[in-house]
Copies of this chain bind each other. A is one copy, B any other.
Amino acid sequence: MAGRQAVTTRDIADQLGISISTVGRALSDDPRISRETRFRVKEKAAELGYVGNLAARLIRGAPSTVVGLIVPDVRNSFYSTAAHALAQTMAQHGYQVMLSETDDHEDNELAQVKGLAAAQVAGVIIVPTPNPRAGTVRLLRTMPHVQFLRQQDKLGDHWFGVDDRQVLRQATEHLVSLGHRRIAYLGGPPGRSTSTRRLEGFTGVLGADADPELIIHTPPSSIEDARRAVGTVLSSPRRPTAIVTASVRITEGLLQELTARGMDVPREMSVVGFGDEPGFSWWGGGLTTMALPVHEVATSCAMWLLQRLRDTGNDAPYNSRAAGYLVTRGSTDVPRSGA
């Protein structure tokens, strides 16, 4: 690399033989500065490759132009979609995005929130861990923030997500309407707000027909555990005629396992997935699945935060719960033998 030292307003002032404040004013198009001086300053700035020092502005009390995004893992398509929507929306409005991952560990979460606070971010969008540390809660209270997808009461009442209950309700209703009664549910363990509500959506529809033995909780991001769970379900004496899943990774595990076992879908087993990833459409005869408007939700979330940053007073609770929609493809059919 070459010129380590960044050029400052002082450099410009010195080279032009004028004062630093004149330079500052010229650069910010202050009307008091003569057209000519303004021109000379800007020309020199361009020539030297001047780039303002945000840190210096920040310290003077200028509003920060950075927002933080805290997610478990960007590789998860929900979160990469969110990161994209956020980066896009924020860039359009002159903001920058700081990316933090928690790996769903509360200590990482706290460390990241501290980092963002130290960096003076203007606001934060967070997918909280199941049980945030007290420090995390306290720190977040000092900065504008919104929760995305997951919801944690202690973290305040600003939330953008999908209607998890509705999503699983609709998935389950679809199977029930086809005649299924013995349906297995593969989801994340309760504790995460999303998992809890998804399970509620499922049991809400199935009522007394819900068989506790066919409700299996696995770590929602482990494909391996999901595959094992599928094995358990299939070898159950009360083997189901259909399976619904409540996480993208679990869905992927399910598809892998069913493929490996050469299961005949939908003849032997109907399947409804969660989310609509690229490969889902060509799995077998196409996977029937619940598509989620993640991009839209993330964009709304970003827009709301922007608005919130402008209007520092407004702090009214805000909740947005977007609906998912069923994409019917080839993986669901009526049960072979009446359940």
Q: Say yes or no: B88 contacts A80, CB within 8 Å.
A: no
Q: Say yes or no: A49 contacts B138, CB within 8 Å.
A: yes
Judge whether A196 is part of the interface by a CB distance below 8 angstroms: no
Q: Say yes or no: B96 contacts A98, CB within 8 Å.
A: yes
Q: Say yes or no: A96 contacts B100, CB within 8 Å.
A: yes
Judge whether A210 is part of the interface by a CB distance below 8 angstroms: no
Contact for A91 among B101, B135, B284, CB less than 8 A: B101
Copy total for this chain: 2
Q: How far is the CB of A33 from chain B (nearest CB, A)?
A: 22
Complexed CA–CA distance, A283 and B278 (Å):
11
Report B-chain residues with C-beta under 8 Å of the C-beta of A135. 49
Q: Say yes or no: A87 contacts B59, CB within 8 Å.
A: no
Report B-chain residues with C-beta under 8 Å of the C-beta of A208. none
Report B-chain residues with C-beta under 8 Å of the C-beta of A144. 1
Judge whether A26 is part of the interface by a CB distance below 8 angstroms: no
Q: Say yes or no: B282 contacts A255, CB within 8 Å.
A: yes
Interface-lining segment among A14-22, A112-120, A185-193, A227-235: A112-120
**Given A55-B55, A66-B98, A75-B80, 8 further pairs, Cβ under 8 A:** A1-B143, A1-B144, A4-B142, A6-B142, A54-B118, A73-B84, A74-B83, A77-B80
